[in-house]
Chains A and B, each alone.
Chain A
Amino acid sequence: MRRKKIDLDAAAEKLELPGEALGALLVTAIGKSRVLVENHKGIEQYSEEYIRLSSQSGALSVYGSRLRIHILGKSRLALEGRIRSMEWEE
């Protein structure tokens, strides 16, 4: 049986809960040089210029240069380097 994809944002809104409590991707950017990503589901691609992270609601791509993973823990990642842009993919 095919599982229906849940819209986390809509569910969080209905339940009046913060999205990250239901596993939505939480991205915190500190200036242009540091990004903290929580609730990710894994690294899909990683290079010095590009990193793509998967999540329940899609994928997050971070573009920049000299990208380095400062710390990698369970479903949590801190990225640092010269961050140019971030892109969401459904």
Chain B
Amino acid sequence: MRRSVFQRGVVHAAFRGGSIERFLNACSDANLVLWRIERTADGAVNAYLAEEDFERAQKIAVLCMCESEILSQRGGKKDARILRRRAGLLTAAAVFALLLTASSLFIWDIEVVGNRSISSCEILRTLADCGVAEGCFWPATDVEDIRSRILLREDGLAWMTLNVRGSRATAVVLERREKPEIYAESRPADLVAACGGEITEMSVKNGRALVTIGQVVAAGDTLVSGRMESPAGQSRLVRAEGSVTADTWRSGRIFLCPEAQEKTRRGGVHLILGIKCGKARLNLAPKGRKDLDECDRISKEYKLGIKGVFAFPLALVVEEYRPYEKGGDFLPDVSAAEGRIYDALAVQIDGEIVNADFSWENGCVLFSAHCRENIATTRETKDP
């Protein structure tokens, strides 16, 4: 195998004497290769030559009545000596490089992107069930197979892929969109009441109104008919369109977990540090589980690596334990619950809430709301 100039070693030497030309010719005849030969102001010649040839060049210089002097030297035996002195460092670097190469074949960090309604934890759990978890050997994973299995398990996902780069895996998902209601505009339909109420306003764009303002209707009553009568006594079916606003009254009860107990903080925060190497975990400050009962645990993991590029199988785990005491029965925040119910109702109805009453009874919030909303909903007419 041909060795590089650096491996062979290079000597930069100066040769002085009366017959430098004779020395150069003798070197040339002896098959010694010299390069970057320069004549200096003091009459010497500086040249580079291979370390293994320098000894022969020295002998030739003596025969030609020249003196030789090493100006600098690099590579070859000199550097090998230096490297030998640092054998431990080199071994450590080699072992580190080996570990780095080996660890890059395993996944140590998984990121989920593109999800909105499905939580990352849920997708990570599904991935783990399909064999993609921290510490898995990624060359053995079949992305197509994993994709098929995950899409079968997660109904909410329309598409996904797994990109593995170094020891990081990125699961890119696309959530399924709800298919919009598709109807043919030419199909005849009636407008019926979605819920009972007293009609306050009507706006009929197509069809024949069967109710009037001030009339009280029940859920399911036909408000606007799609059957149009002609003066000649013939009838034709159309698609009824319009809006019917009515005063409605909604009531209900929301159960608010009566068995919960209120937590009160006690004492300071306990920190437990740990190092996670692969799947194994080493606690730096072990603490008995007994002491950590009745504590809120907040766990954070700081992974070693370059964010978005590479992750090592090493992570610093910081666990915060916040002790608490269980107090008496939990007193729910009624006003907050009322606010949440109000907001939920406002989203649910196609109109506005005129007023709402709330009361608290046996762990339940009772509510009754007076709403003004569009109660008309389309019901397609069956073909005659």
Contacts and interface: CB of A to CB of B under 8 A. Distances in A.
Contacts of B35: 69-72
Contacts of B21: 42-46
A42 B29 CA distance: 9
A47 interface: yes
Contacts of B47: 69, 72
B38 A68 contact: yes
B39 A72 contact: no
Contact of A42 (B25, B38, B45): B25
Interface in B1-56: 20-21, 24-25, 27-29, 31, 33-39, 45, 47
B28 A73 contact: yes
B28 A68 contact: no
A43 B31 contact: no
Interface residues of B, number: 17
Contact of A71 (B29, B31, B33, B39): B33
Contacts of A71: 33-35
B34 A74 contact: no
Nearest to A67: B39
A48 interface: yes
Contacts of B20: 46
A39 B38 CA distance: 22
Contacts of A67: 39
Interface of B: 20-21, 24-25, 27-29, 31, 33-39, 45, 47
Interface of A: 42-48, 67-75, 77
23 contacts: A42-B21, A42-B25, A42-B28, A43-B21, A43-B25, A44-B21, A46-B20, A46-B39, A67-B39, A69-B34, A69-B36, A69-B37, A70-B36, A71-B34, A71-B35, A72-B28, A72-B33, A72-B35, A72-B37, A72-B47, A73-B28, A74-B28, A74-B31
